[in-house]
Every structure is written in structure tokens, then in C-alpha cells.
Structure 1
Amino acid sequence: MTLPISLSATSGLNAIAHAAEGLYAQDSNPVMSMLAEEGIRSLAMSLPLVWDHPQDIGAREVTQYGA
């Protein structure tokens, strides 16, 4: 909750990039793809909320889940 919002956003975008890499990995599998998609979906939904309301614990939880 005390991580500066700019660092939270940067970390969230980095997590999205890592999840996207998982979608295209040579040793990808259906479970890994499902987890990568879920992470991207969660982060895409929650990062804007965290940006607008940094103290929103629910948004922070969904962001952590996506990461």
C-alpha cells in the first residue's frame, strides 16, 4: 500500500510483459496460457483503479493476484 503509484504501475506493466512472454514461449502449454491470460486480464482491470485510487485495497489485491 505504500509503494509509490508510479512504481506500482511500472511493476504491473512489467508483470503484463512477463505474462505475455508466457503466451509465446516454445514450451508453452494450456495451463500456462490460461494463467498468463488470467494475469493479464486481472492486471488490465486493476491497474487503472490502483492509479486512480492508490489506497483501494481491493484493487491492490487484484493487482497482486494478477502479478
Structure 2
Amino acid sequence: MANYLNDAVNENHFSELVVIAPSPMLEDLKPCLNQAAEKVLKRCIANDLTHYTGPELKKRVDHALELPDY
């Protein structure tokens, strides 16, 4: 995942990044991001959304993005 994100940043596929993932994955992912990816990383949200699809997934992502940073 880190390699994919690092490559995407290097190829200018996006200028801002928000990662929503379970806490253990965030802990593993963040140290593997390169400097360019760290610069565009705007937020990490610890949340496991793997059980949701379609409108329910969108609703939960939207809700997660509304939560304050901690």
C-alpha cells in the first residue's frame, strides 16, 4: 500500500491524501511513506470500514471525515 501511495504521489495523481484504515494498518503504513507522500498526507483516520459497501460505505466515510482530529 505504501509503495502504491508513494508512486501515485510521485506521478502527481493527487495533491492531498486522507487515509482511513484500522489503527494497526496506519501504524504500519505511516513509517513507510516517502517524504513526498508525507507532505500531501492531510489526515489519518483510524477506522475499519472493510465491512461496508455502496451507500453505507459513503455515509461512513463522510462521517469519518467530519470528525475532529485527535
TM-score (ref. length: structure 2): 0.32
| Higher strand proportion | 2
